[in-house]
A and B are shown apart, each in its own frame.
Chain A
Amino acid sequence: MTIRHRSVLRTVAAVAAGLVALAACGGPAPDRGGDGAVSGEISLLTPIFEGADGAAVLEEQLAAFKQQYPDVTVKPDYTSYGKLNEKLTTSIASGQPYDVMLMGAGWIPPFASKGVLADLGQDPASLGSRFFERAVDAGVHEGKVYALPIMMDTRIGIYRKDLFAQAGITEPPKNFAEMREYGKRLTQRAPDGTLQVAGLDVLGIDPRQAFLTMLWAAGGELFAPDGSPAFNSPAGVNALQTMTDVIQVDRSEDVGWTVPNSPTGNVMAQGRTAMMVGHHHFWTQIQEEAPDMIAQDKLGFFVIQDERPAMFQGGTLATVAAQSKHPAAAKALAGFLASDGPALAANQQRGNIPALKSLESSEFVQQNKAIQFAMQNFDAAHSEGGVPQWLDIRDKFKPAIESAMLGQKSPQQALDDLAAEATAALAGR
């Protein structure tokens, strides 16, 4: 027997929060529709606009929104992507979700399929005339638009042109074999074996994102058309084997040489790596840490490729809660945040790729070669997710990939085990 939307449920689950740090219960109610007026006090949950600088940017944009909609008051709640899940969980569980929630690409199907998000009533095709198609797709579930894109982010190959020239390498690698070969040639060690320059850094970003980039480049897919796991295919094994060999066989990098969001700064800016699978916003980091490198044009980009060119593409989108008491105001805010001014401000603040085509000509984009490069290669972009259980599955990737890269399991075994876990999650357990 299944109980649905009972007050008792709400009470029981809400109080469970205390022990497992969750405030629980009550799922989304059907969209009440509101009074249709663009008015009321609405809440906004944002993992972007971080820090004091980010908050200042958003406050400025919200002031502009207030001028446009004087009867709407927005209460922003700032968080980070790391804490976003907690905020979403507790708000949805308590039956008081944020009216507008900014979330990542890949998050939309899980939330939309459970009725948490409101159908924004937009036509994907017409949105495609304003936004990049890749960005629109991330907000679409079963043909309906549940989110408006604000920004995109990509994982691409990044290299130091000067170090390539020193090693006599004239162009970026065109396949995995070349990547590995170049990595070995670019690696510099002291006489005692201490690593000084990593020839190929595959540890600098989230292992899942690095692996998926390689998987797609190897010609593989995350899920088969029927929704079953497909990442343990020969292409997937080839991708993970390549990453593992970079560490274990080629010794182009040592474990611990860098970590995602390294507290010690950007390895490329410090000249500690010659080539890497990285995030395009490294450009912004390097601009801050080593502006001379950009001035001297020492930074180059390439699309990771083997069987095909592939680029990991994520993003941040604006969604509206199905339970919002002021849906008209919430939809107005979501639309506003995805519009030119606010979207440009948000992208500038994070060094990301605007989802709006109109911003391609902006000074910000024109001065950022990493963003221009990513925009020119959207044809090669792939996104993670696609199944409603994605949030159950995605955190299982990191330990699986690391177990192979650290030599604890073979790539085939690691991916097969991961596929078994994913299959169980897809089956509902």
Chain B
Amino acid sequence: MAVPTTAPPAARAAAGAQRRQRPLGHERRRAAYLMLAPAVVHLAWWIGIPTVATFVLAFTRYDILAGTMAWAGLDNFVAIFRDPVWWKAIGNTVVYTFFTVPVAMAIAVVIAVLLNTKLRARAWYRTAVFMPHITATVAIALVWMWMFEPNIGLFNWVLSWFGVRGPAWTSDPAWAMSSVILMSIWKGIGLKMVIYLAALQGIPHDLYEAAEIDGAGPVRRFFAITLPLLGPATFFVLVVSLIDSFQVFEQFYVLTPEGGPANSTTVMTYEIYKSAFQRFDMSTASAQSVVLFAFLLVLTIVGRRFTGRDDVA
């Protein structure tokens, strides 16, 4: 109902209240759809359709050069799981995740707690720790590549002070994965630290005061108050980090090109890239993507179980 502008303020307020109580009208619904449209179109075009297409291609034999497609059923999946390199890629991805996620989270908690105390130049330290997160991964990887260089790199130079002959970090299969993990932990701490810092600032200070009166020391306070109350943040960080680590690509691509020495650092994303762009085998790449999608889906569901429920009011 249109309200004349000449209506007294009380009448206008009453009409407004009435309108608020009414279910959404056609006009308002249309406005909502219009406002949602760009995001929906973007999502459908760039996420929805490619996802569906990937699932379709995974069950076909598609020759991108000849432009032919034939139904393949589960052949692509059978083929990839018969491929030892794909298993190696899955194994490497799991190993990478196992070592980067918990270690980076533990370090991030400690740093967050330290940077939550009254400290001189605290803002500078926070910035310094967060900086790697906002720096391009490729740029970081290039710098670390120099530091890992076995003959003139920083790491082996420092090790030589202690009489230790450093390894060929990225060329030796025994060390290549460790090198990437080391860099990834360093890069990943920043964001985790910020999330923990935000969570720490939400913990009521009087809990600590009460614990202190009861005679709890700093370590006891950390394990009895801080860590339990960081639970939701921990699970959020865990889920996000797990998904991130399964999608890792750039640091492997730059630090240990072409799957590293004897495929010691090939990961699922790199194998997908290789299938698609080196072998022109889009069907295999799609099947591998579906497997990766399944991994991420399971991790997300498990994560949601831990965190309680969907973010729905």
Q: Which A residues have a C-beta under 8 Å from some C-beta of B?
A: 1-5, 9, 12-22, 24-28, 85-86, 89, 92-93, 110-111, 114-116, 192-194, 203, 254-257, 259, 263-264, 272, 391-392, 395, 398-399, 402-403, 406, 408, 429
Contact = CB atoms under 8 A, between A and B. Distances in A.
B69 interface: yes
Contacts of A116: 65
Interface of B: 45-47, 49-54, 56-57, 62-71, 75, 79, 85, 142, 145-146, 149-152, 165, 167-173, 258-259, 261-263, 266, 272-274, 276-282, 285-286, 289
Nearest to B166: A256
A406 B262 contact: yes
A13 B145 contact: no
A93 B282 CA distance: 10
Across the A-B interface, the 6 shortest Cβ-Cβ residue pairs: A27-B67, A256-B168, A18-B50, A114-B65, A256-B171, A16-B53
Given A25-B64, A27-B65, A15 B149 contact: no
B263 A399 contact: yes
Contacts of B168: 254-257
Q: Which of B47, B52, B53, B169 has the most CB of A within 10 A?
A: B53
B262 A402 contact: yes
A13 B57 contact: yes
Nearest to B168: A256
Contacts of B150: 256-257
Contact of A9 (B50, B69, B167): B69
Contacts of A92: 64-65
Given A21-B276, A194-B165, A408-B262, A16 B282 contact: yes
Contacts of A2: 68-70
A142 B298 CA distance: 50
A20 B65 contact: no
Contacts of B45: 15
Contacts of A399: 85, 258-259, 262-263, 266
Contact of B57 (A16, A115, A406): A16
Contacts of B172: 255-256, 406
28 contacts: A2-B68, A3-B68, A3-B69, A9-B69, A12-B53, A12-B56, A13-B69, A14-B53, A15-B45, A17-B50, A18-B46, A19-B51, A19-B289, A24-B64, A24-B282, A28-B66, A89-B64, A110-B65, A111-B65, A114-B63, A203-B171, A257-B151, A263-B142, A263-B145, A264-B151, A399-B263, A403-B262, A406-B172
A4 B49 CA distance: 21
Q: Which of A2, A4, A19, A255 has the most CB of B within 10 A?
A: A19
A25 B280 CA distance: 12
Contacts of A403: 262-263
Given A5-B67, A15-B49, A21-B276, A406 B261 contact: yes
Nearest to B150: A256
A391 B278 contact: yes
B286 A255 contact: no
Given A4-B67, A264-B152, A391 B279 contact: yes
Contacts of A26: 67
Contacts of B278: 85, 391, 395
Nearest to A193: B165
Contacts of B75: 429
B65 A263 contact: no
Nearest to A26: B67
Nearest to A260: B257
A104 to B, nearest CB: 13
Given A20-B54, A264-B149, 16 more contacts: A13-B69, A18-B47, A19-B289, A20-B276, A21-B277, A22-B276, A24-B53, A24-B64, A28-B65, A203-B171, A256-B150, A257-B150, A257-B168, A395-B278, A402-B173, A406-B173
A257 B64 CA distance: 40
A187 to B, nearest CB: 15
Contacts of A22: 64, 276-277, 282, 285
B53 A13 contact: yes
B169 A256 contact: yes
A408 B272 contact: no
A140 B240 CA distance: 52
B281 A20 contact: no
A254 B63 CA distance: 42
B274 A395 contact: yes
A106 to B, nearest CB: 13
B67 A28 contact: yes
Contacts of A25: 62, 64, 67
A369 B134 CA distance: 48
A89 B280 contact: yes
Nearest to A10: B67
Given A18-B49, A192-B165, A115 B66 contact: yes
Contacts of A259: 170-171
A24 B170 CA distance: 34
Contacts of A255: 168, 171-172, 261
Contacts of B69: 2-4, 9, 13
A83 to B, nearest CB: 9
Nearest to B293: A19
Contacts of A392: 279-281
A108 B150 CA distance: 38
Nearest to A408: B262
Contacts of A86: 277
Contacts of B64: 13, 22, 24-25, 27, 89, 92-93
Nearest to A393: B279
A4 B66 CA distance: 9
A325 B52 CA distance: 32
B80 to A, nearest CB: 11
A388 B95 CA distance: 36
Nearest to B169: A256
Given A20-B54, A399-B85, A4 B68 contact: yes
Contact of A263 (B146, B165, B263, B286): B146
A103 to B, nearest CB: 13
Nearest to B78: A429
Contact of A398 (B46, B65, B258, B276): B258
